[in-house]
Amino acid sequence: MPTARRDLEALAMAGVPLYPSRGRGGGWRLIGGARTDLTGLTESEVTSLLVALSQSRTAAPEHTAAVRKLMHAVPEPFREGAQRVAESTVRDAPWGEPDDAPERPAVSELQRAIAARRRVRFGYGDAGRPVEVVPLVVGSRGPRWYLLAAPGRNGGADVDRLRTYRVDRIADLALTDERGEGPDGFDAPAAWERMVETVEGLRGEARAVIRAEAWAVRAVLDRFGRQAAVMDADEGLIEVRAHRADALAEQLAGWTGAVEVLEPVEVRAALRELGQRIAEQYRDP
């Protein structure tokens, strides 16, 4: 290992005492508890590497292993910031949808702010309303990235006022010099899960009870994800949800032949009207 040999030679020239250790697991050791970093990475390089890995589109075992090994390999002073990046990044996707959120420079900057315990300032929404918050979680839900952040309070974050932001609506993002971090014990995955449940609940105000063919049950559950629940597995009864009855009818129309809507009458009527429009549009001259 030429790199390791050069590092050892440099230590010896600097007057750091070295001694050999024989046997299994032996090698050169430093006297007096001294330590050295053989990775050659700087703190900013470690953070950048964790940022890139956390935005990777793959969830393969080697990806997880690479993150775990990197966390153990980096020097102790660098590890805390890198750990914050790893713990605050969530990759999530509904059943049946690919986790293909594109890499975004804004996500990388938000992760660096989390690593450095800094607040961020940006314009948000169509009007570019100015916002200054403590970034706590960045995560992708299918093809879209989100930020969970809270206003700053006494160098920390007021998590009682936690809010969700769409990253693609953030503009002019900048790190500030103001310190900001989550409180001790802040559970990033749990906060993300609560956000998803809230958003999915808002999207699921319309409901329908359907009967699915046995072979189609798993496919329906995969397609609707959190918006589907089995009511009776033996009968193939499933409850599905969407934000409106007509939207639910549009999603169910493609399952004709494998699924029958039992209730409510509003969704059945919406399906009937949709079928009539399709038949009229494609009627032979």
% of the chain beyond a pLDDT of 90:
30
Domain co-membership, 195 together with 240: no
Domain co-membership, 190 together with 76: yes
Confidence (pLDDT) at 63: 57
Among the listed residues 8, 1, 6, the one whose alpha carbon sits nearest the alpha carbon of residue 29? 8
Domain co-membership, 110 together with 29: no
Mean pLDDT of 51-57: 56
Q: Examine residue 255 and state whether it is found in any structural domain, yes or no.
A: yes
% of the chain beyond a pLDDT of 70:
66
The count of domains in the chain is 3
What are the C-alpha distances in Å from 247 to residues 30, 204, 252, 266, 267? 67, 10, 9, 11, 9
Q: Which of 151, 166, 200 is the last residue of a domain?
A: 200
Q: Examine residue 285 and state whether it is found in any structural domain, yes or no.
A: no
**Neighbouring C-beta atoms of residue 267, cutoff 10 Å:** 25
What are the C-alpha distances in Å from 34 to residues 15, 258, 263? 12, 68, 72
Domain co-membership, 157 together with 261: no
CA gap 31, 28 in Å, rounded:
10
CA gap 18, 27 in Å, rounded:
10
Using CA of residue 187, residue 189, residue 190, residue 195, what is the dihedral sign? positive
pTM, two decimals, is 0.56
CB 156 within 8 A of CB 213: no
pLDDT at 271 over 90: yes
Domain limits for position 10: 2-33
Q: Examine residue 93 and state whether it is found in any structural domain, yes or no.
A: yes
Domain co-membership, 149 together with 97: yes
Domain co-membership, 91 together with 230: no
Domain co-membership, 93 together with 137: yes
Q: Across all residues in the chain, what is the average pLDDT?
A: 77
Q: Which two tokens stand for residue 60?
A: 């393969």
- Which of the two residues, 3 and 188, has the higher pLDDT score? 188
CA torsion 165-169-170-171 (nearest 10°) is -170
**For residue 67, what pLDDT band results from cuts at 50, 70 and 90?**
low
Domain co-membership, 74 together with 128: yes
CB 90 within 8 A of CB 189: yes
CA gap 238, 30 in Å, rounded:
65
Q: Examine residue 38 and state whether it is found in any structural domain, yes or no.
A: no
Mean pLDDT of 49-66: 56
Q: Is 85 exposed, middle or buried (0-12, 13-18, 19+ CB in 10 A)?
A: buried
Among the listed residues 50, 55, 119, the one whose alpha carbon sits nearest the alpha carbon of residue 82? 50
Confidence (pLDDT) at 270: 92
Domain co-membership, 188 together with 210: no
Domain co-membership, 130 together with 246: no
Using CA of residue 272, residue 274, residue 277, residue 279, what is the dihedral sign? negative
Among the listed residues 40, 32, 31, the one whose alpha carbon sits nearest the alpha carbon of residue 7? 40
pLDDT at 149 over 90: yes
Q: Is 116 exposed, middle or buried (0-12, 13-18, 19+ CB in 10 A)?
A: middle
Q: Which of 200, 222, 239 is the last residue of a domain?
A: 200
Q: Examine residue 284 and state whether it is found in any structural domain, yes or no.
A: no
Domain co-membership, 149 together with 274: no
CATH of the domain at 241: 3.30.70
Mean pLDDT of 231-249: 88
Mean pLDDT of 205-214: 89
Q: Which of 200, 235, 253 is the last residue of a domain?
A: 200
Q: Examine residue 156 and state whether it is found in any structural domain, yes or no.
A: yes
Domain co-membership, 68 together with 208: no
What are the C-alpha distances in Å from 31 to residues 3, 11, 12, 73, 198? 20, 11, 11, 21, 56
